[in-house]
Amino acid sequence: MRKAIALFFVLFLLATGRSFSQGPSAMMPAIIEKDGRHALLVDGKPFLILGGQAHNSSAWPGMLPQLWSAIGELHANTLEVPIYWEQVEASPGKFDFSLIDTLLVQARQHKVRLVLLWFATWKNGSNHYMPEWMKRDAAKYPNITGSKGQPVDSPSPNTEAAAEADTKAFAAVMRYLKRADPKHTVIMVQVENEPGAWDSVRDYSAPAQKLFEGQVPAELLKPGVLKALNVPAVTGGSWQKVFGNNADEYFQAWSVARFIGQVAAAGKAEYPLPLYVNAALRDPLTNPSATTYESGGPTDNVIPIWKAAAPAVDLVAPDIYLSGSERILKVIDLYDRPDNALFVPEAGLSPERAKYLYTVIARGGIGFSPFGVDDNGRGATKTEIAERLAPFAQDYRMAAPMMRELAKWGFEGKIRAVVEREDHAGQTIDLGAWQAVISFGTGARNTDQVNAQSTGKAMIVQLDENTFILIGALCHFTFRPAGKNAGRAWQYLKVEEGQYENGAFKLLRILNGDETDWGGPRLGAAPTVLRATLIVR
Ligand code: DGJ
């Protein structure tokens, strides 16, 4: 209902161009959906997270200066930053929110939003951020037992005590945040970090085994859920009977999702910010065995289980460390669903991954963030830091002043994007009366050189039938008349270079002559924004 009201308001505002009379800061961040596309509303309007994630141990007051300097260098509008259960609740029931206070004050000073990462029961599949008093009580807060009775470095999702403790602590965090952050500097919270288990598909301890031998819960037996899992309709049965070879993994996914769903629901009841859970991915192309990846997290094959088990989690999100355009585009496809807003909370900080920002924007995704943007206390020089961040910083510098427009156009389905694949081949985009042809390369006219890495990218926003915003780097745009224009002679009426400022396109120069002849504009390494109007003659 809340989502429906928010959607109604935003559509009204988008249509009328008005803003909320009570002032934007009163608006809760929210995720809305329309026709299978999503927007993250911040201050009542679609917002695009141009994020940067801190290294794991960088959210300590003495480390924050180097973190803010990286965020500034990156031109990020959002810092994704951990808060640590071991620090927040160092003694049972005694909470210390000083880190949250510090982050709020400094984020506001830097005019940056926050996504808080609740490092708690799970951090990369382990319990390493549980407070010491929990680590010392292994009987009460057990880890998983493997299939051969071996200890596994991963908390069991099948015991109540840890779920209760995490639920209480997360609820306390969200209760505090509601009071401390009326300005909504924090726009989203990640619950846990890459949950699941490496080294065992599930918990084989006696209590967990008993649950595994019990009946599959009714939520998973709904026809829609079984269909999404490719399982024939049944009305009941044990995990083994209903899910066969996948029973162990599905039991683990249900158990982890149920646990985190409970934690998330308690937090949301205190303060209903958008919540998400990030996934350590499996190979999306080969359907590998669950013994080869982190079992139980929201990998692509168990998203329907997560949706059924954890309705308080607004979305599950892929952490992209895989390589190769086919793999990465497949992952993006699998996590962009009508019931799941696309968000990439972590991407490996390598130049070839920066281009997927374009794909995420075009698909109406709510944001993107490379991981480990700060120097992590290693003493790199300013130049080294700038070089490391440059592939992402260049795009963020271009996108930051127009992020509201990009988020709105993405939500409205007006953007198309292509990224350079390993074969460097050109690609086309159908735009009704036109077809855009994008080729990739570094060179000036007639001396196009293949890009050293496949880092070319292009995005086209269709403003009306003949007017387009062209954004890209290391590529060459041209057009062909298509549809009702097919076969006609054509030309550029005008190609303008500039940037969006305060909602309007601001001209830097008109491109003509060598800059647009021989097909159309060629863009260099720095992402460029053009407005092109085409005509047929
Ligand atoms: C993914 C995790 O979610 C991050 O916290 C961090 O551990 C990175 N892996 C390291 O590459």
Q: Give the residue, out of 194, 277, 293, 343, with the most ligand 1 atoms within 8 A of its beta carbon, to mutate for a pocket test.
A: 194
Question: For atom 2 of ligand 1, which residue has the closest CA?
Answer: 124
Phi first, then psi, for residue 267 (nearest 5°) are -65, -45
What dihedral angle (degrees, nearest 10) is formed by the CA atoms of 167, 221, 296, 312? -30
pTM exceeds cut of 0.85:
yes
Mean per-residue pLDDT for 373-386? 94
Q: How far apart are CA 267 and CA 96, in angstroms?
A: 17
CA of 309 relative to ligand 1 center, distance in Å: 25
Ligand 1 centroid from CA 366, angstroms: 20
The pLDDT-based confidence of 3 (bands split at 50, 70, 90) is: low
Name the residue of 56, 81, 371, 376 to mutate for ligand 1: max ligand atoms within 8 A of Cβ.
Answer: 371
The Å distance, Cα 319 to ligand 1 centre, comes to 8
The helix/strand/coil state of 256 is helix
d(CA 335, CA 299): 9
Q: What is the mean pLDDT of residues 425-444?
A: 93
Mean pLDDT of 440-445: 76
> What is the torsion angle, in degrees rounded to the nearest 10, for the CA atoms of residue 257, residue 259, residue 260 and residue 262?
120
Within 6 A (CB) of ligand 1 lie 56, 124, 193-194, 319, 346, 371
Q: What DSSP string describes 508-531? A: EEEE-GGGT-TTS-EE-SS-EEEE
Average pLDDT, the chain: 95
Residue 442 has a pLDDT of 78
Which is nearest to 125 in space by CA: 147, 163, 154?
154
> Is the pLDDT score of 96 beyond 60?
yes
Q: What is the pLDDT of residue 23?
A: 41
Of all atoms in ligand 1, which is nearest to the CA of residue 56? Answer: 5
Give the integer Cα–Cα distance in Å for 59 and 117.
Answer: 10
Contacts of 362 (CB under 8 A, 6+ apart): 410, 415, 416, 417, 459
Structure confidence at residue 450 (pLDDT)? 87
For 132-188, the pLDDT digits (tens) are 999 999 999 999 999 999 999 999 999 999 999 999 999 999 999 999 999 999 999
Residue with tokens 């807003």: 341
Atom from ligand 1 closest to the CA of residue 117 = 5
Ligand 1 centroid, distance to 195 Cα (angstroms): 11
> Distance from the CA of 321 to the center of ligand 1, in angstroms?
9
Q: Which atom of ligand 1 is nearest to the CA of 193?
A: 3
Which ligand 1 atom is nearest residue 278's CA?
3
In the predicted structure, residue 15 carries a pLDDT above the cut 70: no
Residue in 346, 350, 369 to alter for ligand 1 test, most ligand atoms within 8 A of Cβ: 346
Query: Beta 78-84 vs 45-47: how paired, if at all?
Result: unpaired
124, 316, 321, 344: residue to mutate for ligand 1 pocket, most atoms within 8 A of CB? 124
**Cα 225 to averaged position of ligand 1 atoms, centre (Å):** 30
pLDDT value, residue 449: 82
DSSP letter for 113, please: E
Which residue from 219, 258, 221 is spatially nearest to 241, judged by alpha carbons? 221
Measured between alpha carbons, how far is 163 from 307 in angstroms, rounded to an integer?
A: 19
Mean pLDDT of 50-68: 98
Mean pLDDT of 29-42: 98
pLDDT at site 444 = 65
Percent of the chain with pLDDT over 90: 93
pLDDT of residue 438: 97
Report CA(271)–ligand 1 centroid distance (Å). 27
Percent of the chain whose predicted confidence (pLDDT) is above 70: 94
pLDDT of 418 above 50: yes
Contacts of 164 (CB under 8 A, 6+ apart): none
For residues 22-43, average pLDDT: 85
Q: What is the DSSP letter of 193?
A: E
CA 515 to chain centre: 36
d(CA 402, CA 322): 29
Phi, psi of 520, deg, nearest 5: 160, -175
Q: Report how far apart, in Å, the C-alpha atoms of 497 and of each of 354, 401, 442, 503, 527 are.
A: 22, 15, 19, 16, 11
What gap in Å lies between CA 495 and CA 531, rounded to an integer? 6
Residue 352, both tokens: 């070839």
Strand order in the sheet with 522-523: 427-430, 434-440, 475-481, 522-523
Ligand 1: centre distance to CA 527 (Å): 28
**What's the CA-to-centroid distance between 124 and ligand 1, angstroms?**
7
Q: Is the dihedral of CA 398, 402, 404, 405 positive or negative?
A: negative
Once rounded to an integer, what is the mean pLDDT over residues 303-325?
98
371 C-alpha vs ligand 1 centroid, how far in Å? 7
According to DSSP, the residues that pair with 533 across neighbouring strands are 467, 494
Q: Whose CA is nearest to atom 8 of ligand 1?
A: 371
